[in-house]
């Protein structure tokens, strides 16, 4: 199997309920009808990359259940190669999502089959990782598998990108291999022990970093300096999976030869289009849709 991008990460069934407001401790609120959709940080990023015409494979795991079938179908229709996705004897991962009228969300993840992604599975994909231009490591799967995948990429000269969400402690070797490390503002502050100067991220070891800023766009941090990348102004309907849309588009552009700033400029446009639609994978635009939206979002 020859692909330009390998994504290692989670595949979850998203269980989504819209609420007028989030409940407080011990409180019950009524919500909308439940919507079941394909999600998971790894699967989302892989779908976003494929819809931007990237040749991408997901390395992950699902259960042999209806949720697993849902995810395989969604990824396959988008063009994601699934040879590296295992079916294991555990329930497919699930994410329980509440969405408020402003489009913001809260998420609780039950990893399920994602917890079965291990170092042996990564080792079996060694040749595919070595043949790719970019590896994206997206968390919600066990950290030893993530760190081994990044190490294999570094050995082979494959560009390693890691989206540190949810936050986790990375080894110095893993951090040193990343180009870039992608975090949001909260994750950056966690890494920096509460410091707000995100330009200090390079002091932790990565060759470059991208800090996503939501509706404000992103900040690209390189050894030569920082670049602010603004986002188009849109009316957000649902922000679920917007960060995954961003990194999926980012890695596609990097694999195509764009520099990091150019890749981030494209990625913020993809993410901006995605938040104008409900859902995660279902909201992701094709490359043509983003091109046509130029100047309209």
Q: Which residues are marked as active site?
A: 244
257 Rama sector, left if φ>0, alpha if ψ -120 to 50, beta otherwise? left
Identify the helix (H) or strand (E) that includes residue 182. strand 178-184
* Contact between 233 and 283 (Cβ < 8 Å): no
Residue 196 has a CB neighbour count (10 Å cut-off) of 9
Distance, CA of 152 to CA of 125 (rounded, Å) = 10
DSSP structure string for 16-68: EEEBSS---TT----B---EEEEE-HHHHHHHHHHHTT--EEEEEEEESSHHH
Query: For 199-230, b where at least 16 C-beta lie within 10 A, e where not — what string?
Result: eebbebbbbbbbbbbbbebbbbbbeeeeeebe
Rg (CA), the chain: 18
């Amino acid at each position: 199997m020859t692909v330009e991008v390998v994504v290692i990460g989670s595949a979850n069934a998203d269980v989504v309920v819209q609420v007028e407001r989030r409940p407080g401790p011990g409180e019950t609120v009524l919500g909308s009808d439940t919507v079941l959709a394909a999600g998971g940080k790894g699967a989302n990023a892989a779908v976003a990359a494929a819809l931007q015409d990237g040749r991408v494979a997901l390395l992950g795991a699902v259960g042999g259940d209806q949720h697993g079938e849902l995810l395989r179908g969604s990824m396959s229709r988008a063009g994601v190669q699934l040879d590296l996705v295992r079916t294991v004897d555990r329930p497919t991962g699930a994410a329980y999502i509440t969405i408020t009228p402003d489009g913001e969300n809260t998420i609780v993840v039950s990893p399920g089959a994602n917890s079965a992604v291990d170092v042996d599975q990564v080792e079996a994909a060694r040749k595919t990782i070595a043949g790719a231009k970019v590896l994206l490591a997206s968390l919600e799967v066990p950290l030893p598998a993530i760190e081994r995948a990044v190490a294999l990429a570094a050995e082979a000269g494959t560009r390693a990108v890691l989206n540190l969400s949810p936050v986790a402690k990375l080894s110095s070797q893993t951090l040193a291999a990343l180009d870039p490390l992608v975090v949001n503002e909260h994750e950056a502050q966690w890494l920096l022990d509460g410091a707000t100067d995100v330009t200090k991220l390079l002091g932790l070891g990565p060759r470059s970093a991208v800090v996503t800023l939501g509706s404000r766009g992103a900040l690209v941090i390189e050894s030569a300096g920082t670049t602010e990348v603004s986002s188009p102004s849109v009316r957000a309907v649902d922000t679920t999976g917007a960060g995954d849309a961003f990194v999926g588009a980012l890695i596609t552009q990097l694999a195509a030869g764009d520099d990091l700033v150019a890749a981030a400029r494209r990625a913020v446009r993809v993410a901006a289009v995605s938040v104008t639609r409900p859902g995660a994978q279902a909201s992701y635009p094709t490359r043509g849709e983003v091109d046509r939206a130029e100047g309209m979002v």
